[in-house]
Amino acid sequence: MADDTSARHAHYWRRNIRYVGLLLAVWFSVSFGFGILLVEPLNAINLPGTAYPLGFWFAQQGSIYVFVALIFVYVKLMNGLDAEFDVAEEDGT
Amino acid sequence: MTAQQWTLTLVVATFALYIGIAVWSRASTTKDFYVAGTGVSPLANGMATAADWMSAASFLGMAGLISFMGYDGSVYLMGWTGGYVLLALLLAPYLRKFGAFTVPDFVGDRYYSQTARIVAVVCAIFISFTYVAGQMRGVGIVFGRFLEVDVDIGVYIGMGVVFFYAVLGGMKGITYTQVAQYCVLIFAYMVPAIFLSIMVTGNPIPQLGLGGVDLESGMPLLERLNGLNTELGFAEYTSGTKSMLDVLFITTALMVGTAGLPHVIIRFYTVPRVRDARISVGWALVFIALLYTTAPAIAVFARTNLINSVSETPYSEVPEWFTTWEDTGLLGFEDLNGDGRIQFVGPDSPVANELSVDNDIIVLANPEIAELPNWVIGLVAAGGLAAALSTAAGLLLVVSSAVSHDLLKRSLMPEISERGELLAARVAAAAAVLFAGYLGTHPPGYVAQVVAFAFGLAASSFFPVIILGIFSKRTTREGAILGMVSGIALTGAYIVWFTLMHPELSNPENWWFGISPQGIGTVGMLLNFAVTMTVSRFTPEPPEHVRRLVDSIRIPKGVEEGAA
């Protein structure tokens, strides 16, 4: 039984690590990637429909919006994972 | 009413509100005092975190900094928001599951070592005091400028208010006053921004106005500002002057430093459950992002306005706000070429620059430059005070709990009673307020650099050790202690060398690989990771109960740490 539980928990942890890895890859791309490393080539084009140079937009606006979205995606993924592995805390604790 | 009457009314009204909340939410146990009884809703905690985090520097200083730095200012925008992704994904949920009161609590228990705990206490206190000095100064400046009282008296008034709710209410009082302070500061920030956006671009949403068209010239706003900047010999606004490597390192240091700041981390101890901690970080960033995406818009509107209203203007015809702000010393004009006109030009211009503009003025003087109604001016003053006081209170709580909980309860006097500990916490909070007031009235001449120090220190000390403590069971106490000490030593030495001992040498030619003192925290962090991991490999494994503790931190429910 105990081994079963710990195998299940190890599985839960691996899934968590995978989610974190994927989301951090996006986090890195929008800020360090688009906002810093690729800023010059991206500035050659505008964000469609606006007068924002695209690289500048990522550095001063876009990356922040993506950061917010990433956290909410993580919350959703983890709430699902908690339920799937039956490790969610009860209400009112 | 005059601007000064409006300011007085709004400041008194908001202060009365904060004190009322403090009386209503007194702390009766140490759990109340340290973590608000872990009963804060995730949404309220998100708001409190946002107020806790956004200091006088964010509210008063940031838009101005960006205004002068252009693209280079992005390091603050990305650096001070990106850290929340790290907090949500790598720290907050696990620390909530651990369920302690302070950051040194985690370090001491996870690394089964009193030495590690004490190192953490010293770091936490140092980081918090360096930060709080700037907040108290901010309070004094707002009072001085808007109510024409002496800066020192402004600091005393601010101390009195913080004293009242931090000592009485602890984390519980601080949390609910911070919720109120967030509402005040965001309203105060958005109102002038919306007015400006409508005036400059015709779009009421500043975030969109920034990418819109300048009404006056009919050109895209950013293109117009690029043109003005180049014409006057400044760098193009949307491209930077810093080296890409330095931008990378500064952004990383600020992100990681944000995630390692103890006053931010402890906010996530106050919610009931692990899932609440996760979503609470999300709410915090929503509330922060509202201000942080507005700041770059204010920066551009204000810069365009400033250039249009002062460049080549005869000094005899300057608007009234110009002379008011000249009196405070935040704005200075010297007619070098004697033509009676203001030359506001950049380093690439053939003529000399005659105008000096302090960063803080951009937010403070905006309502006057844009000729907004008097109540908006009062609102900005109340907002600046809210931002400074909320951050100061959060920092003071870290100091107080580090002394009463980590130093007394967990190290020197483990037999201290609940009542004794609560009393000690209040006394420590009171002492911390007094010391912060002293720092505010006798500011070290290098407040700005010292704040950079706080970030570098947090990045190079706490962040790697907490992450490894959660994600690698093999990390040992020897590794953690040596890692923290080497990370801090390198970062501290580099910053002290270039900002305090040899500021004249602080330029890209002397910096290692062109990395500025602001970005060195990243190097310290990498060193900390490398040392901690290497030493851990060659020292005895952590004991069984610690590995069990790590297991229990990783899973929201189901592993009891004391089960063995």
Instruction: Examine the pLDDT at B322 and tell me if it is beyond 60.
Output: yes
CA atoms of B15 and B231, how far apart (whole Å)? 46
Whether pLDDT at B562 is above 50 = no
Q: How confident is the model at residue B564 (pLDDT cuts 50, 70, 90)?
A: very low
Chain A interface, mutation test: which of B97, B226, B555, most A Cβ atoms within 10 Å? Answer: B555
Residue B158's pLDDT is what?
84
Q: Which of residues 12-51 of A touch B (CB under 8 A)?
A: 12-13, 16, 20, 23-24, 27, 31-32, 35-37, 39-40, 43, 47, 50-51
Residues in A closer than 8 angstroms to B296, CB to CB, are 60-61
Overall average pLDDT of the B537-551 stretch: 91
Whether B365 and chain A come into contact, CB under 8 Å, resolves to: no
Q: What is the pLDDT of residues B263-314, one digit of tens each?
A: 899 888 888 888 999 999 999 999 999 999 999 999 999 898 888 888 888 8
- Please give the Cα distance from B98 to B88 (Å, whole number): 15
What pLDDT is stored for residue B452 in this prediction?
Answer: 65
Q: How far apart, in Å, are the Cα atoms of B370 and each of B146, B301, B421, B512? A: 17, 10, 52, 43
Task: Identify the bridge partners of residue B332 per DSSP, sorted by sequence position.
Answer: B356
Partner-chain residue, chosen from A68, A82, A88, that has the shortest CB–CB distance to B289: A68
The angle at the Cα of B119, spanning B118 to B125, to the nearest 5 degrees, equals: 85
pLDDT of B141 higher than 50: yes
Tell me what the mean pLDDT of segment B188-214 comes to.
90
Helices (H) and strands (E) in chain B, counts: 24, 2
Task: Give the tens place of pLDDT for each residue, B437-495.
Answer: 888 777 665 555 567 678 888 999 889 999 999 999 999 999 999 999 999 889 888 88
H or E stretch at B527: helix B520-537
Q: Shortest CB distance from A27 goes to which of B85, B213, B272?
A: B85
| Interface ipTM | 0.93
CB contact under 8 A, A64 and B81: yes
In this prediction the pTM is: 0.90
pLDDT at B447: 57
Per-residue pLDDT, averaged over B96-124, amounts to 88
Phi and psi angles of residue A85, each rounded to the nearest 5 degrees, phi first: -95, 5
* Residue B443 confidence (pLDDT): 67
Provide the CA B438 distance to its chain's centre, in angstroms: 20
For residue B554, which residues of chain A lie inside 8 Å, CB to CB? 9, 13, 16
**B112 or B135, which is more confident:** B112
Q: Note the pLDDT tens digit of each residue in B166-190.
A: 888 788 888 888 999 999 999 999 9
The 3-state secondary structure of B4-39, one letter per residue = HHHHHHHHHHHHHHHHHHHHHCCCCCHHHHHHHHHC
Most confident of B130-144, B181-195, B310-324, B412-426: B181-195
> pLDDT band for position B56 (50/70/90)?
confident
pLDDT at B448: 58
pLDDT of residue A25: 96
CB crowding B369-398: b at 16 or more within 10 Å, else e: bbebebbbbbbbbbbbbbbbbbbbbbbbbb
pLDDT digits (tens, 9 = 90+) for A48-91: 878 888 999 999 999 999 999 999 999 999 999 998 888 888 76
Q: What is the average per-residue pLDDT within B367-371? A: 79
> Stretch B375-395: mean pLDDT, rounded?
87
Q: What is the 3-state secondary structure (H, E, C) of B378-425?
A: HHHHHHHHHHHHHHHHHHHHHHHHHHHHHHHHHHHCCCCCHHHHHHHH
Q: How confident is the model at residue A30 (pLDDT cuts 50, 70, 90)?
A: very high
